[in-house]
Amino acid sequence: MNILFIEPAFPSNQREFVRALHAIGANVYGIGERPYDWLDDETKGRLKGYQQIESVTNEPALEWAVREAQKAFWVDRLEATVEAHILPAAHVRERTGIPGISARTAYLCRDKVAMKDVLRRAGVPTAAAGGVTSLAEAREFAHTHGFPLILKPRDAAGAQGTYRVRNGEELEAAGHACGLADGAAVAIEEFVEGHEGFYDTLTVQGRIHHDFISHYFPNVLVAMRTRWISPQIVSTNRMDEPDYRKLREMGRRVNDVLGISTAATHMEWFFGPKGLKFSEIGCRPPGVGQWDSYAHGNEMDLYREWALSVCHYRTEAHPSRRYACGIIALRPDHDGVISHYEGIDEIFDRYGDLVVGQHFPEPGTPTQGVEAGYMANAWMRVRHEDFDTLRGILNHIGARVQVRAR
């Protein structure tokens, strides 16, 4: 089977998808923005060919690369796993006759306003939301639905470009910051109070083969704005508990309504005083290396399962649900360059056998801002058979490990 895979080298976990495709016997051809010589040797060894283009989100350039490949060999699949690549890939698929996620589904999983309109009409509980192109329209929405509200790009991923506004003054400031005051199209929605998490699936021909649930501690907007917090994302191994039944049912309903056939999905949700609410969904795997947490928690190669699904419409493994697994971000005390770390030896002496991933940049490495995300600086990934015990371990790590900068 011949697979065109978009951007095989960046971000770094893209290499895992190439590895898995190669391991099940697929011929993998990369399309990317980087020169071939920049690829690591392992990825080069797993690729049958590689085409560099200026931008993989430039649809004419991407279509040219696909058609050039089609002149040379039969193309079975064109696959993308990064949020910004999903819709261009879907458009090019349809124009070149390659099966996969449709442009309609890709669009609905990218445009926040259209997504929620479709799901609301289907009876999925969502926050009040709409699309606005002026501050006047935003003020009218606020008058109808009240504060607090959320402003964000219609095609945002994660918390990028997202603003919580609590009053008219903050609405005006956020409107200027996000370009709404200049006519940019922005999604506006009711702020949903409650705990935030996500529901991820690997769906094959419309049926969920694997699913996973993760929790944010604290919620994303707080985590991405507050330096002193060491935020966590923790996947549960209690999937069969009755409290999760409604969430899993909602996830299946969302996938069905949006027409998701064979793909990974990443669905955000809230649970609070107004009950369970859908937030948004992406037709791709989660970020923050979360598939690695699922793999370690369930003793399975989830990348291989994905490769089998896109190539052969099947999966093989059964998740063990043995471990809860979580990542904790460890932030520098201020921006600059990494100076040193405190508390690492103690933590590894106590929990070293539970650590399944880690990253501690060398002293002298420039820091990245808090808004750059959970893996921007130092981090650890840890698993334990008990979810609550794991939470306590992660809290201890966050309190004890200090990242010093100068």
Domains of the chain: 2-100 (3.40.50.20), 128-190 (3.30.1490.20), 195-405 (3.30.470.20)
Which DSSP category does 154 fall into? T
Rounded Cα gap, residues 240 and 242, in angstroms:
6
Residue at 132: amino acid letter? V
Q: Can you give the pTM of this predicted structure?
A: 0.90
Which runs of consecutive H residues, i.e. helices, occur in 242-301? 245-258, 290-298
Rg (CA), the chain: 21
Of 210, 208, 209, whose CA–CA distance to 294 is shortest? 210
* Pairing, β 2-6 against β 27-32: parallel
Is the distance from CB of 377 to CB of 331 less than 8 angstroms? yes
Residue 297: the pLDDT is 98
Peptide bond into 88 cis (omega under 30): no
Average pLDDT over residues 336-356: 97
Give the pLDDT score at 155.
66
Helices 344-351, 387-400: inter-axial angle, 10-degree rounding:
160
Q: Does the pLDDT value for residue 261 go beyond 70?
A: yes
pLDDT at 183: 86
Give mean pLDDT, residues 244-254.
97
The secondary structure element, H or E, covering residue 228 is none
Q: How far apart are CA 249 and CA 232, in angstroms?
A: 25
Counting residues of the chain whose pLDDT is more than 90, the rounded percentage is 78
